[in-house]
Amino acid sequence: MVTSRNHGMFTKVFTMRMVLGILLTMALASCATTPPSSVDNICSIFKEKSGWYKQAKSAESKWHSPIPVMMSIMDQESSFHSKAKPPRTRILWIFPGPRPSSSFGYSQAKKEAWQTYKRDTGHGGADRDDFDDAIDFVGWYNNQSNRQNRIANTDAYNLYLAYHEGQGGFEKHSYKKNKPLMAIAKGVAVRATRYDKQLAGCRKELERHWWWPF
């Protein structure tokens, strides 16, 4: 027989567990959407955002695009901010105007490119502010550049130029008229090399926990 006292205790315990579950969910959601504390070291990024390594590894396996290359491109595009958008233009140097493009999220993918990605991969529920989907998009795009423009999977410099200009623009060498962009691409390549060396030193440790869901 359940007494009113026992029932009250059960209700309190159940309520506490529900509250703790909600708080844990909120904490994990916050952790997933906030950028890493430091973006200079890929090992630090993956240790802080432990689920990201598993997702990046999946994209690497699927699209044959090295993790350091994909992560370097993403860092350049958004600094790992899930809601990143291009800054608004200015009207009369004062009033905020429209944004220069529809780029959004970790990968800064434009709406048109994102729709193509979803159609080609069958991943209709993909979101640009979801790291798992965004890293998969970067890998997919690099794979397209490899196939269409014959850019090596490890060539972060040219892959970034194709990522920024589009495969058609890259084919026409549109980037050659944009020296600042070429300088940025060199920075992406340098970062990819640094990430690669760093990852070599912590990959074994990350592999031991790759299965962990968070």
Taking only the tens place, the pLDDT of each residue in 94-113 is 545 444 456 899 999 999 99
The topology under which CATH files domain 37-207 is Lysozyme (1.10.530)
- Residue 88 DSSP code: P
Q: How would residue 3 be classed by pLDDT, with cut points 50, 70 and 90?
A: low
Q: Which residues pair with 109 in a beta bridge?
A: 104
Q: Which residues pair with 91 in a beta bridge?
A: 95
Q: How would residue 87 be classed by pLDDT, with cut points 50, 70 and 90?
A: low
The string of pLDDT tens digits covering residues 173-199 is 999 999 999 999 999 999 999 999 999
Q: Which of 19, 52, 18, 16 is closest to 34 using CA atoms?
A: 52
Mean pLDDT value of segment 12-40: 58
The string of pLDDT tens digits covering residues 150-180 is 999 999 999 999 999 999 999 999 999 999 9
Instruction: Report the sign of the C-alpha dihedral through residues 144, 178, 76, 84, in that order.
Output: negative
**What are the extents of the domains in the chain?**
1-33, 37-207
Element (H, E) at 91: strand 90-91
